[in-house]
Amino acid sequence: MVYNVTDGLGWCYVAYCNASCKVEVHSSSCPTTPIPSTTASSTTAVLSTTTKPTVSTSVPPITPTSTSTSTPSTTPTPDCSDVNPPRKNGESWKTDNCTTATCINGTVTISTCPPVQQPICANGRQVVEVYDDDGCCPHYDCQCVCSGIGGSHTTFDGKTYSFSKNCSYYLVKEIITKYNLTIIVNYNDCDSSDTFCSQALIVIYKSYMIVLTQLMISGKATNVVYVNQKQIYPAYSNSDLRLTSTDMLIRLEIPEISTTVVYRGTSFSIDLPNSLFGGNTEGQCGELPDHLTPDPYLNPIQ
């Protein structure tokens, strides 16, 4: 209802806003009883009265309710001002080696290492857990080990074969040089007494030549190590190499490329990371991780 008035001459006028937002005016003779204005039923009673068709009415001007049509302002995305130093929305930063913080709409969220799935190793070996350079987030890598004892060899992909020629030949050689690693085995003829017959490993890495071999000292076969033609006595380490030994073996570790070589005089093992050398090796240890059986006469040096 817009208004409900009388002209003082016995006629009442009621105006309503209809469903189409138009003002409808109804006129009728005023009842002798005052019109209650508190209930809908009394209002209906007024409208049900016969309307006087010839009455001219003057509708008072209707002032529409003021509405705001201004364009809504764009609210800036909140930054993270509670941290020190303050961070912008979307900015990420390291809180320590293992967690990363990100500002998202004014809230700091913390994320840790992503989940990783264990691979299925093509060579049938078990996977090993390897950590990133920061020592935090681990990932899985396949064990890629080449080994030999006497004339029997086991390649990176798990194949075995025999080869015991008196010569030097490549065990591991990069097809495309990336890490400057080459490993050579050298079989020597037995001495005249036929009691001492050894194999020597030559590991070439960067500017180093490491020779792992055996010498007869006081009638006993003894493991010895040479680095760039100078004998060293493990434990020994520098910025690139780490050498340790026991009475039975010598262990060479190259941390930068996660490579380990173990020498026992008549046997050896070479452990390379698949993530660095996969598909890029040739020689008696074969190519990893493909299932390739190496040719025993592949890449002889002499």
Average pLDDT, the chain: 76
Helix (H, G, I), strand (E, B) or coil at 208: strand
Question: How many CA within 13 A on the CB side of residue 157?
Answer: 17
CB within 8 A of 4, min separation 6: which ones? 12, 13, 14, 15, 35, 37, 43, 46
For the chain, the domains span 3-47, 74-112, 127-282
Residue with the bigger pLDDT between 246 and 74: it is 246
State both tokens at 204. Answer: 């070439």
Q: How far apart are CA 74 and CA 260, in angstroms?
A: 60
What is the distance between the alpha carbons of residues 200 and 167, in angstroms, rounded to a whole number?
Answer: 11
Place of tokens 């309503």: 16
* Range in 51-60, 75-84, 289-298 the model is least confident about: 289-298
Asked whether the whole model's pTM tops 0.75, one would answer: no
pLDDT digits (tens, 9 = 90+) for 2-39: 888 887 777 888 888 998 888 888 888 887 655 455 44
For residue 178, pLDDT over 50 is answered with yes
Nearest to 253 by CA among 288, 225, 279: 225
pLDDT, tens digit, 9 for 90 and up, residues 96-128: 767 888 998 888 888 877 777 777 776 666 777
Residue 137, CA distances (Å) to 28, 130, 133, 134 in order:
88, 9, 9, 8
The DSSP code for 47 is: H
**Domain at 127-282: CATH code:** 3.40.1000
Residue 142 · residue 127 · CB < 8 Å = yes
Q: What is the pLDDT of residues 219-247, one digit of tens each?
A: 888 899 999 999 999 889 999 999 999 88
pLDDT tens digit string along 89-101? Answer: 889 888 776 788 8
Give the pLDDT band (50/70/90) at residue 136: confident
How far is the C-alpha of 63 from the C-alpha of 85, rounded, in Å?
55
- Residues 277, 260 contacting (CB under 8 angstroms): no
Name the amino acid, one letter, at 201. L
Q: Taking residues 72-87, what's their average pLDDT?
A: 78
